[in-house]
Amino acid sequence: MGEAGPRILVLHGPNLNLLGVREPEVYGTTTLAEIDAQIATEAQARGATARSLQSNHEGALIDAIHDARDAADGLLFNPGAFTHTSLALADALRSVGLPCVEVHLSNVHAREPARRVSHVAPACVGTVTGFGPTSYLLGLRGLLDYLSAHADAR
Ligand code: DQA
C-alpha cells in the first residue's frame, strides 16, 4: 500500500456505460459518471484513491485486472452479465490475487435463475447486491476495511 493510502480500481462491465437510460426500472436513473464521482468522493474521505474503468469487452476487463497487479491494492467490480458466464474473469482475479468485492445494482438473487449464478463470487472476498449505486459505496467500505485488517499480510 502506498503512502497515499489504498489504491482501488473500480471495474464496470458490459452495458453499464448506459446506466441512466438503460432499463431505469431495474437499474435506476443515476449515470455511471455520477456513480464514479460518488465512489471517488467516498474513497477520498477514507484516505484512499479510486480509479474507474468501464468496458463492454471481456478481454479488456481481463487485461485491466492483470494491469492492476502493479497499480492497485484492491478491486471493486461489477462484471455485469459476465458475472454469470465468465470463468475467465474469475481466473484473472485468482491469477492476480488482489482482494476484490463484487457489486451489483440490482438484487441478482431476486431476478431470473441464471442471474443467481456468479462465477466471479468465489474469487472475491465478498458481494454486495441490490442497493443501487449504494452497492458500490458499501462494497468500497467493505473492501477498505478488509485491506486495513489485512495490511500486514500484504
Ligand atoms: C448487474 C446484474 C447483471 O445480471 C446484469 O447483467 C447487469 C447489471 C447489476 O449491477 O445489477 O448488467 O451486474
**154: pLDDT strictly greater than 60:** no
* pLDDT bracket for residue 81 (50, 70, 90): very high
DSSP state of 124: S
Distance 77 CA to ligand 1 centre (A): 11
**49: pLDDT strictly greater than 60:** yes
Q: For ligand 1, what atom is nearest to the CA of residue 27?
A: 11
SS3 5: strand
pLDDT for the residue numbered 153: 64
Distance 55 CA to ligand 1 centre (A): 14
Active site residues: 27, 104
SS3 133: coil
Report pLDDT digits (tens) over 100-119. 999 999 999 999 999 999 99
φ, ψ for residue 10 (rounded to 5)? -100, 120
- State the pTM of this model: 0.96
Cα separation, 89 vs 22, in Å, equals 24
Domains annotated for the chain, with CATH where assigned, are: 7-153 (3.40.50.9100)
